[in-house]
Amino acid sequence: MNLPIVVIGAGPVGLAAAAHLHERDLPFTVLEAGDGPAAAVRQWEHVRLFSPWRYDIDAAARRLLADAGWVEPDLDVLPTGAQLGADYLQPLADLPVLKPHIRYSARVVAVTRQGLDRVRTAGREATPFLVRLADGTDLLARAVIDASGTWNTPNVLGAAGIPAHGETTAAGFVDHALPDVLGADRDRYAGKRTLVVGAGHSAATTLLALAELVEQQPGTSVVWAIRSGSPDRTYGGEAADALPARGALGSRLRVHVEAGTIELLTGFAVHAVTPVPDGGVQVSDGTRTVTVDRIVAATGYRPDHSFVSELRLDLDPVLGSTRALAPLIDPNEHSCGTVPPHGVDELAHPEPGFYAIGVKSYGRAPTFLLATGYEQARSVAAALAGDWTAARDVQLDLPETGVCNSSQPLESDRIEGSGGCCGTTAEQAPASSRGLATGIAGGLLSTPLPLVQVAAQGSDGQAGGCCG
């Protein structure tokens, strides 16, 4: 029986996996819970990525699209989520070689082995996977690639990893990361007082939009709460950042905080959330209390392993990634440093034939790169085709130089700079073809960062690597 390989999720990495499986002549079925490709991406379509197109397109996908006459976008342009979906992912999903194998509105609720629970060992490896959908349909699969992402499982407001007191009751006041503050969601924030909780790039993006709304709409105000004692991690490298769009984000945010447009609360760990009778909600850290109209919980995401709980998974107890991958991506250690290239060996579980790839593979680590997910897809597809030499030849093409242009406009859609990493020229920059920059811990999961040239790796998690 020639069973297909089931890919869960038709986002960027899931579709990349499909492209690589097609090139390997392996039968596959993509199951997507949404009604079209890149459903999660379309929920943050108003956000511009930090990475230009050259790092947002998978190699196998590019080959398939080129064969179909696709016109490649300007590789130096920074696309929005809407452009990523409309100009790349939708055409990819619509290719005749992929489209018949993608099923939409097909939510996976369980993955197991046919007739076997997690305890049963005899004959396990030769037994097909059973994939159950929300409508009761059961599918059999030779292997399963979970590229379902983490967008639908955001972290809670509570600082201890569990909901704060009253958080569930106050859910109507809480929006999750990246609302369209200046567009579709404007009415929820205009003339209101909003609390943004979180220290990553999703928080920074929302804060800057709210600061602009303050200037446009009287009565609008913004409070920013972070657990740490300093916002420096969110400010990032600023003028010394290898990613000019990211550097501009930190620089602009600092200006608004220092000008008082954004009220900053440091050392604020959310303990309780309480609706007040006259409207609004009080948020307390146990000592201080702030009253606001809306809350944006930009607190990151976590993987959902519940629907694969009958599979044998070897998960790191801290991050929820595989144990082999965890020390390579630990955000307690990695900031602007490097993560070694990794593929099928680091993604393997004790359950043969099951792999989680993409942002879900990183568990709770917020340092995922879209290009990394593409390489994971390539490596896993090669392994499933039996080409272990290619599967283990894990490497990434890096740009010749980083870019450290402090004048990069935040609203610009292009990389507007030249020169090497932190001032070196292309000729001066050391050559490297392996490794990847993780970005700043707490970075925006849904806006992947580009790979940058790495000059050296630091050991303290603060400096080292490009612009360290």
Walking along the chain (468 residues) 10 residues at a time, the average pLDDT comes out as: 94 98 98 97 92 93 98 94 97 98 98 97 96 98 98 95 96 96 97 95 93 97 95 68 60 92 97 94 97 97 96 96 93 59 95 97 89 95 98 72 34 48 31 28 31 32 29
Q: Nearest to residue 37, comparing CAs of 132, 139, 111, 105? A: 105
Q: What is the pLDDT of residue 247?
A: 56
Q: What is the pLDDT of residue 243?
A: 52
In order of start, what are the domains of the chain with their CATH numbers? 5-152+301-392 (3.50.50.60), 171-297 (3.50.50.60)
Q: What is the pLDDT of residue 262?
A: 97
Q: What is the pLDDT of residue 201?
A: 82
Q: What is the pLDDT of residue 436?
A: 28
Q: 368: buried, middle or exposed (CB in 10 Å: 19+, 13-18, 0-12)?
A: buried
Q: What is the pLDDT of residue 339?
A: 65
Q: What is the pLDDT of residue 165?
A: 97
